Amino acid sequence: MSYPEMLRRREVVARLMRDRSDLVAISSLGSPTYDLASAGDHDRNFYLWGAMGGAAMVGLGLALAQPKTPIVVFEGDGEALMGMGGFATIALKRPANLTVCILDNGLYGETGGQKSHTAGGTDLAEIARACGIVDCRTIERFEEVEQLAMRLSAISTGPTVAVIKVDGEDLPRVMPSRDGAYLKTRLRSALGLEAA
């Protein structure tokens, strides 16, 4: 699937993470985790290795628990399709510090590259908007990525959902830690919380 300028997912994630300040980044299983790790491991990165369809909900929980901390979730279109009901809950709770970035290549990358529903016309930004999220964007140009980068570290008036149209290039995996207890403890420590 191709889009104008063919946004490259690793370049997009690297740009969004470049000026991260105190931003917490959560990534769903598969390519979003490899992309976030490729941009540089960080104490405020929380990689999900499973729980498909749950990344946005983990982001929502953290955003509600830490309302003064900006939270970004990186997930693929397959994950977003599986967890579409989460948009309604995010809209209901309206966290001002949450941005969900959907890296949409129109493919189910973890199961062999089959076309996803977004390749057939499903519009995740419109679904999120219909659930009540006001700031929904479809991003196809790098200038729009630059604008989104400014939003990530800000506490806004409500959540943002950004569907970023990226190419389907199969990239080498960048493997961060898979130790869930370590990742949880590391993030809690980075947030100034006691290890649990």
CA angle 39, 20, 148 (to 5 degrees): 90
Q: Which pLDDT score, from 0 to 100, does residue 1 have?
A: 43
How far out from the chain centre does Cα 109 lie?
16
Fold classification of 9-190 (topology level): Rossmann fold (3.40.50)
The answer, yes or no, to whether residue 51 has pLDDT greater than 50, is: yes
- Per-residue confidence band for 139, with pLDDT thresholds at 50, 70 and 90: very high
For residues 159-172, give the mean pLDDT.
Answer: 91
CA atoms within 13 A on the CB side of 17: 25
What's the rounded Cα separation, in Å, for the pair 101 and 16? 10
Residue 3 is predicted with a pLDDT of: 41
- Is the Cα dihedral 125, 35, 105, 28 positive or negative? negative
pLDDT digits (tens, 9 = 90+) for 166-187: 988 888 889 899 989 999 999 9
Which strand (E) or helix (H) includes residue 71?
strand 71-76
CA pair distance 3, 192, nearest whole angstrom: 42
Domain ranges across the chain: 9-190
Residue 194: band (very low, low, confident or very high) from pLDDT cuts 50, 70, 90: confident
pTM of the shown model: 0.93
